[in-house]
Structure 1
Amino acid sequence: MPFTLDTVPEGVRTGDFILRPITAADAELDHAAVMESREYLRGWEQDGGWPTDDFTVDANREDLDGLERRHAEGRAFTYTVMDPAETECLGCVYFMPTDVRSFTTARITPVGEERWEDYEAAVYFWVRKSRLGTATDHALRDTLRSWLAKDWNLRGHLFVTSELFTQQVEAWESGGLRRRFTIEESGKPGRYLAYL
């Protein structure tokens, strides 16, 4: 189901990075970030197979073309994270509606009195491996929190990550976010955790 936003923010710029809608033209820079980070992205995805060691720029371009179309149609929103000169991809941010099939078929357990249906968006992100040591993930986390509060007109949002991606779990919890839900998808080796 498409989001019901009146307007979708074009992006945000900080001194450290730019967030803007991803396009198929970003395939080469995005591919470099994906392949550098493939080992931990497999845990983040929890399917163990993406990206494959032989994942190509052309295959990535096809993926990005699909993400670009979904963004234009308002079904989901994907932003690339680029360095200020736009010569290096630092990661990606994904906004998914909370009623997509992966959620409707999952077992979602609230931590307290939360109700999943009170939230419109699940926000995921990853930062390329070489930038984890520079705390780019923490800076992106803080930028996203501010940007969502200021520029997005969502009926609630959650930040979601895999419990297997312990580095990101720590980033959410050290940033003062509180776990609201656990999400168990059939066939996945671990749970997903939703924070706000």
Structure 2
Amino acid sequence: MRLENVEPPSGLTTDGFVLRPILATDAELDYAAVMESRDYLRTWEQTTWPEDDFTVAANRADLEKLEERHVARQAFTYTVMDPAGTECLGCVYLMPTDGRSFAGARITPVGDHRWDDYAAAVYFWVRRSRLAARTDRVLLDALRTWLATDWRLGGYLFVTNEQFTQQVELIRDTDLELRFEVEEPDKPGRYLAYE
């Protein structure tokens, strides 16, 4: 199934967080989480984003694009908020596996798997101050249930960068299995895709 044919759920509410589509109006709360976590987000992204001089206005412009892509069903981005809606805890992204970001990549299957059997690549991050409480593991567990029950995607993969060792170890501590290695041009680390 192609991502543009998917009806995305409106979100997910748990005891620990609320997951809902990101909006440009989330810019300030999102910015606080991004800047607190910028060192490891650079590793995760394999870029210099966010730069030290990144601004709330620049973040708002980014979120406007994410919101537009969500509405157009080109890709889906959810913010992770605390139950009160006063602190951003992280973000979740569902990207189409046939999208632009994978067009120039070298994708190597691990075993007998086909990339085009999967509709979405799922990425997520949790703000640095919430890692000690294992919010990332709670989020991953909730995402697995949510994706299996509330989405009609067909296949999907959880993707992280091999240099983001904290998240690699988190995923390896589950029963998810490595399916693909993805090498993007001009990025030093491979991305690892798990099912």
Which one-letter code corresponds to 1:43 in the other structure?
Answer: T
Give the Cα separation in 1 of the matches to 2:13 and 2:83: 8
The aligned counterpart of 1:55 is: 54
Partner residue, 1:43: 43
CA contact (8 A) 2:108 2:182 kept: yes
Partners of 2:3 and 2:119 within 8 A in 1: no
1:148 corresponds to:
147
* TM-score, structure 2 normalization: 0.98
3-state SS of paired residue (2:108): strand
**Deviations 1:17-49 (Å, cap 9, x if unpaired)?**
0000000000000000000000000000001x1
Q: What is the CA-CA distance between 1:102 and the residue it aligns to?
A: 1.9
The Cα shift of 1:2 comes to 5.0
User: Which residue identity is paired with 1:20?
Assistant: R
Give the AA of the match of 2:46. Answer: Q
The CA deviation at 1:176 is 1.5
Report if the CA contact (8 A) 2:3-2:153 is conserved: no
TM-score normalized by the length of structure 1: 0.97
> What is the count of residue pairs matched by the alignment?
194
Query: How far did 1:104 drift?
Result: 1.9
Deviation at 1:101, TM superposition (A): 1.8
Report the AA paired with residue 174 of structure 2: G
Counterpart residue identity of residue 24, structure 1: A
Give the SS at the match of 1:120: strand
Aligned partners of 1:89, 1:115: CA distance in 2, in Å?
35
Aligned mates of 2:41, 2:158 — CA distance in 1: 17
**TM-aligned CA deviation for residue 130 of structure 1:** 0.4
- 1:164-179 alignment runs, 5 A limit: 164-179=163-178
Task: Give the counterpart letter for 1:158 in structure 2.
Answer: L
**Aligned residues of 1:108 and 1:183 also touching (Cα < 8 A):** yes
1:190 and 2:189 aligned: yes
Find the counterpart in structure 2 of residue 123 from structure 1: 122
Q: Is residue 31 from structure 1 mapped to residue 31 from structure 2 by the alignment?
A: yes
CA RMSD of aligned residues (A): 0.9
1:107 aligned partner, one-letter code: R
| Residues 2, 73 of structure 1: 8 Å contact kept | no
Q: Structure 1 vs Structure 2: percent identity of aligned residues?
A: 65
Deviation track 1:116-139 (CA, whole Å, cap 9, x = no partner) reads 000000000000000011000000
- Which sections of structure 2, spanning at least 5 residues, go unmatched? none
